[in-house]
Structure 1
Amino acid sequence: METPDGNLDAWLVLLRAPALGTAALRTLVTQHGSAGNALATLRGGGAVGLADETRAWLDAPDEARLAADREWLADETHHLIGWDDPDYPSLLREIGGAPAALFVAGDASLLWLPQVAVVGSRAASEHGLAIARRFTRALAGAGFAITSGMADGIDGSAHAATLDVGGSTIAVLGTGPDLVYPRKHRALAARIAAGGALVSEFPPGTTARPEHFPQRNRIISGLSLGTLVIEAGLASGSLITARCASEQGREVFAVPGSVNNPLARGCHQLIRDGARLVESAAEIIEELGPHAAAAGTRLRARLALLPELEPTSMRADPQGRDGDYAALLAALESEPVALDVLAERTGLGVAALSSMLLVLELEGEVLAARGGLYARHPG
């Protein structure tokens, strides 16, 4: 759990406090330096204007509910990352309305990787699903994590295609981190938790509500350098994600379609509004490459600050040629090889390998090829 010692219970109390609000909670934690200090101030009467129900909860929270939250967090693959935590993803911290905290099931370090959001229609056509698979495999092969909302259609296809090529994927949920919606994606959610990350701003046990899904869209775009929309009607929730991305100053990409396809109309509207028309993943990779390099720099700086918390393979300077990097470079050949092959040769996990390969690619040591393949740079 990433929350500092002594701060966990405070976060759980504050996050479940009725009528407190995300913005107010961020402000309190910023002003007082930690959730623990903020809670102590509120309980000591240091804040005015609190609703009666808020004050009643803060003074006497439901201990059974908090115990259930602590039980969920007792799993070593479950995490709570608060606003006062240095592990809070830097790109998400930049947006207006950022969540006060994130519950994560899986590899929380993936939130610091350069990400591309891939979203689209829940009722996507077979052609749209094929486009989603083609784009996400290429983007994952170039070192980007793929972020989406685990909905039917384009979202689910993007997550699955990324996992199929050994890439990193992040699903932002409209429920608590322990619940799956839609239920048909239970197997997919288990795959993502094992090889990626499930993320939610909602505490465990929070059920699906209509208002949660537009709300989570700002996190999908906020974690990502750019958002790609593949098939979306004019009333699609994907357009909300695209609008969030635009308001956050992030890139928006849209795949055009037939004028006879109603699922293309949302993409065409985005293009008219200034989104970049793209026909291949290479165009996105070219556009976001410089931003990805900056994200890689932030990642390296962050990992360097916490040597005691990060595995060696995630923090070492490749120029230092530590054991894991040396093993990876020795496993690479002039001909591209797949990530799972590298995992077999080195004994390293896929998540660690993905991060190491990204760093080596940014350093000019590795070339990413189509289909999630990697090779030594000929130079």
Structure 2
Amino acid sequence: MVFSFIFVIYHRLPMIRHEPLDYWLALTLAPGIGVLGIARAFQGLGSVDAVFKAPVATLISFGVRKKAAAAVASFSDWSQVAAIKEKTFAVGGEIIPLDDPRYPDNLKQIADPPPVLFIKGNTDLLKLSAIAVVGARRASELGRRFAFKLGARLAEKGLCVVSGMALGVDGAAHEGCLRDKGPTIAVLGTGLDVIYPAAHRYLSERIAENGLLLTELPPGSGPDRGNFPRRNRIVSGLVQGVVVVEAGEKSGSLITARLALEQGREVFAVPGPPGMPGSKGVNRLLKDGAQLLESVEDIFLALPWLAVADKSGTNSGRESNTALKRPALTPEQSQLIAALGADEINFDDLLEKLLWESGLLSRVLLELVLSGMLIKSAGNSFRVVSEFVE
């Protein structure tokens, strides 16, 4: 009788419900699945809830290893999930999962996007066009000065400056951007609560106040050596172009440049004096076909659609009070603008939608990009600048 009573009470207890964010964090804790496995499962099944409800065999069919699929199916460490959320919120942070509307589109398109982003600061910066400025930790005074001025000029042009908050070039680029409270994102190789290097504690506070701190690592994660090469794919994934200012032959900045090329980003290198240690890496990039950069104007020559940030009067991530004047359009341009609407569409889909010749579409796209009405994104996709959407 007592046993039956206990049995009935037990089965009347309500089941614990988890929100989607809990499932995202659980995926990052499941041993063996990895970032690529999470991305494949999510893309295949369409939602994080579906990933957790899927049979092991289904997860395996999407490229998840058998042990990792079993780990997802048997996951039970919800107390650790709760602890990660509590620690993040305790330091003033937020967590943005892959299916959150605020998750940056550019980063979502890379092969291995972080399942979750731990952030602290202004999330509006994730919507801005951005350029990464990276380089040597032991940079020369000349290199640091150049990075500072470049960061300041990019901010003046309304672009967000992304870097890794390391000593040397990274820190100088952030400082230049912050000079007039410009928009800057620091991508960390630690948790939000672990400041590395310690010398940049004050810089990190200023970035959190005026910009954004971002990491894929949960609170408590220290500066482990393997974190930084993985961090570099996020730096390049967030931006339209990467500028390398001084880099030795084995510099981590060269990893960022390689990842940028793989992700379809433009790579720029600042030439250095022959024979200097910090010149070997950048000069090799130039030999391999990187764009030579001597001033911020070189970025706009290579990526003319970024000039719209300057034309719109935006600065420091703040909205402009001046509306963009819509230029006169040809019939083909009007038709293309109407076909895009508020969507981002790649070249092949536009061809199919408009039934144009590829040469005509290429010409009209170029005209509209140069006029500042269209923005070209990764994957040869295009969208209308928000001020011009009908």
Pairwise same-fold verdict (TM > 0.5): yes
Q: Secondary structure at the match of 1:119?
A: strand
Match of 1:9 among 22, 25, 28: 22
Which whole-Å CA distance do the structure 2 matches of 1:138 and 1:361 have between them? 22
The answer on whether the counterparts of 2:30 and 2:75 sit within 8 Å (CA) in structure 1 is no
Residue 226 (structure 2) pairs with residue 211 (structure 1)? yes
Match of 1:189 among 188, 199, 204: 204
- The residue identity in structure 2 corresponding to 1:136 is G
Which whole-Å CA distance do the structure 2 matches of 1:364 and 1:168 have between them? 26
**CA apart distance, 1:361:** 7.9
User: Does 180-189 or 143-152 show the bigger shift?
Assistant: 180-189
Runs of at least 4 residues off by over 6 Å: none
The answer on whether the counterparts of 2:95 and 2:117 sit within 8 Å (CA) in structure 1 is yes
Counterpart of 1:69? 84
Structure 1 vs Structure 2 CA RMSD: 2.8
Matches within 5 A, 1:348-359: 351=317, 353=318, 356-357=319-320
Which whole-Å CA distance do the structure 1 matches of 2:256 and 2:67 have between them? 35
Which whole-Å CA distance do the structure 1 matches of 2:307 and 2:97 have between them? 24
Encode CA deviations 1:109-152: one digit per residue, 9 max, x unaligned.
21121000000000001111111111111111001100001111
- The residue identity in structure 1 corresponding to 2:163 is S
Counterpart of 1:252? 267
The answer on whether the counterparts of 2:88 and 2:219 sit within 8 Å (CA) in structure 1 is no
Which whole-Å CA distance do the structure 2 matches of 1:266 and 1:363 have between them? 43
Which whole-Å CA distance do the structure 1 matches of 2:90 and 2:124 have between them? 16
Q: What is the count of residue pairs matched by the alignment? A: 306
Residue segments in structure 2 that go unaligned for 5+ positions in a row: 1-17, 328-390
Match of 1:39 among 31, 49, 52: 52
User: What TM-score does the superposition give when structure 1 sets the normalisation length?
Assistant: 0.73
User: What TM-score does the superposition give when structure 2 sets the normalisation length?
Assistant: 0.71
- The residue identity in structure 2 corresponding to 1:21 is G
Q: Secondary structure at the match of 2:254?
A: helix
**CA apart distance, 1:290:** 0.8
**CA apart distance, 1:35:** 1.6
The answer on whether the counterparts of 2:245 and 2:282 sit within 8 Å (CA) in structure 1 is yes
- Call closer, same or farther: CA 1:14–1:362 in 2, change over 3 Å: farther
- Call closer, same or farther: CA 1:182–1:364 in 2, change over 3 Å: farther
Matches within 5 A, 1:245-324: 245-291=260-306, 293=308
Q: Secondary structure at the match of 1:170?
A: strand
Counterpart of 1:161? 176
Counterpart of 1:176? 191
- Call closer, same or farther: CA 1:292–1:38 in 2, change over 3 Å: farther
- Call closer, same or farther: CA 1:125–1:38 in 2, change over 3 Å: same
Match of 2:147 among 128, 132, 137: 132
What's the % identity of the aligned pairs? 41
Residue segments in structure 1 that go unaligned for 5+ positions in a row: 297-317, 319-328, 333-338, 340-349, 366-379
Q: Secondary structure at the match of 1:208?
A: coil
- Call closer, same or farther: CA 1:259–1:86 in 2, change over 3 Å: same
**CA apart distance, 1:291:** 4.3
Larger-Rg structure: 2
